[in-house]
Amino acid sequence: MKKAHIEAIDYHQAPNVITSDWIEEQIEDTLGRLDIPRGSLENITGIKERRFWEHGIKYYETTTKAAIKVIEKAGIDSQDIECIINTSICRDYIEPSQASLVHGNLNLSPHCFNFDISNACLGFVNGMELIKTMINAGKIKKYGLLVSSEGSIKALENTLRMLKSTNCKMDDYKSNFATLTLGSGAVAMLIANEDIAESQHVINDAVNVANTAEDHNKLCLASLDHSQMYANTHGMMVEGIKLAVKTWAKANQTWPNWNDQYIDRYIPHQTSNRQIEALCNACKLNHDKFHIILEKYGNMASAALPMALIDAAETKTLNAGDQIALMGMGSGLNGTIMSLTW
């Protein structure tokens, strides 16, 4: 069994900033008609702004830029990458895989295994577990590369168009509210076999719990062309927190000393401040240990959690030897907790 080390992690930032205030300006008439106070979007979610790609941008191009940055940061020979996995929800094509397009852009070895996996907002953490498993199995002797690029401008524009309609009702606003929280960005992570790793950031283990009953697996639905997303935000919150409690209990039963006192920092997938507060209350976790970035990035889907990890590392929030919990709930519903030692 070989340990898997996070050798480097980096991002490529979307250039265009859109504030919650600007979004509410676009639908001001509808908000007035439905008696929704201005400022509700930020007050409910904690999101001040989010970022978007330029129109027409290809996700695999933004992903490639993030990958180049992480390879350069690690200072490795890209020919030593033995597997690349794309974990994003957003794709440029049904086929080929996004990973194959990035593989070609990076001119990686023909022996580098390349494919996509997708699991809503949990895809990146699932990819980390998969790379770790491949290292343990001896399939990766040097490096594995994870990438993701998410974008939501098309969904936001379509949603604003619908919410501006004089036919828009309160149910329409509620079911499309989650779309107003979405942001964009690209991330990449290089994971090394311990035999050649330079970093001490170790991926320990992960636990996963699912609740895919029919009334749960359709609480959030997004179209194939990324143009629309429907979400039962209340149902996602209530059932997601229930699943988080079960996932936390499984981690507590699986790993010794797994409790709030033992953990130094939580890096969650984050959709709103209310979701984080509900998670802390339900699992009895210290809110001050959570690293939150949604105020300036919104919900970046599968790129959100790794982006929070990057931000925590760059702002010197993490210290050598810290015990870190990566925590996420994703549409489906699925829950994941991963243990890291920084």
Report, as residue numbers or ranges, the catalytic residues: 95, 121
Q: Which of 45, 342, 317 is nearest to 204 (CA)?
A: 342
Cα(248)–Cα(250) distance, integer angstroms: 5
Task: Name the DSSP letter for residue 92.
Answer: S
Tokens of 252: 């507590």
Cis peptide preceding 96, ω within 30 of 0: yes
Q: Are 203 and 4 in contact (CB under 8 A)?
A: yes
Q: Are 126 and 89 in contact (CB under 8 A)?
A: no
Report the run of H or E that residue 16 belongs to, with start and end: strand 16-19
Tell me the C-alpha to C-alpha distance, in Å, between residue 288 and each of 259, 260, 267, 277: 15, 11, 11, 11
Q: Which of 141, 94, 91, 93 is nearest to 113 (CA)?
A: 141
Close Cβ partners of 89 (under 8 Å, ≥ 6 residues apart): 118, 120, 121, 123, 150, 222, 226, 301, 302
Compute the residue count for the chain: 342
Close Cβ partners of 179 (under 8 Å, ≥ 6 residues apart): 152, 155, 156, 159, 228, 229, 231
Cis peptide preceding 333, ω within 30 of 0: yes
Residue 84 CA from chain centroid, whole number: 18
Residue 204 CA from chain centroid, whole number: 19
Q: Which of 174, 300, 304 is nearest to 231 (CA)?
A: 174
Amino acid at position 53, single letter? W
Cα(251)–Cα(242) distance, integer angstroms: 15
